[in-house]
Amino acid sequence: MEPGERIPDAVLDEPIGGVNLVPGTLRDQLGAGPTLFVFLRQLGCVFCREMVGQLRDASARRADYPPVLFFFQGTGTEGRVFLSRRWPEARAVADRPKRFYEAFGIERGGLREMFGPGVWSARRRARAAGFEQGERLGDAFMMPGVFWVEARRVVWRHVFRHAGDIPDFERVPELARSASG
């Protein structure tokens, strides 16, 4: 989905399960204000782990940070185990069939997005920060996605150049506000 695009009712009304969610649909997870949708690659990915850590820290430091809603390719149990070590209070939608990934236009990366020079540099950055690769859980070629959603509409999104291209999560609120005009 692109900025300015409204999330279809069929997507919002899709029943969901996962971790720390309100029972019901995707619509039931949204509050009156913005929500940051974060689509994780696969739970063993070093960049996935880095993103969760950076988001946890950014949201703790900033009172104006929106609630974060993760999407991952696994079961609720797998998500609970993953998040219990990284951010136990986080909310996450289990999307093994990748219905939400598809609805938001999250695509699989090619060789350049998975193994290009930017990825190797990002891997060094993640490892230097203490993040490690784990056992693969999900489609290893799936790209990540980050969307600022407000009033059922995508306001801002980060376009990932490669698997390790992580936005500056501290600046996301400003980026989204400037995109919304």
Tens digits of residue pLDDT in 53-85: 999 999 999 999 999 999 999 999 999 999 999
- Residue 46 located in a structural domain: yes
- Residue 138 located in a structural domain: yes
Quote the CA–CA distance of 129 and 145 in Å, as a whole number. 21
- Residue 24 located in a structural domain: no
From residue 163, give the alpha-carbon distance in Å to each of 33, 56, 99, 141, 159.
29, 19, 20, 9, 11
- Residue 2 located in a structural domain: no
- Residue 173 located in a structural domain: yes
Residue 100 has pLDDT above 70, yes or no: yes
Question: Per the confidence metrics, is the pTM higher than 0.85?
Answer: yes
- Residue 136 located in a structural domain: yes
Structural domain range at position 75: 9-19+33-179
Q: How many domains does the chain have?
A: 1
- Residue 149 located in a structural domain: yes
Residue 145 has pLDDT above 90, yes or no: yes
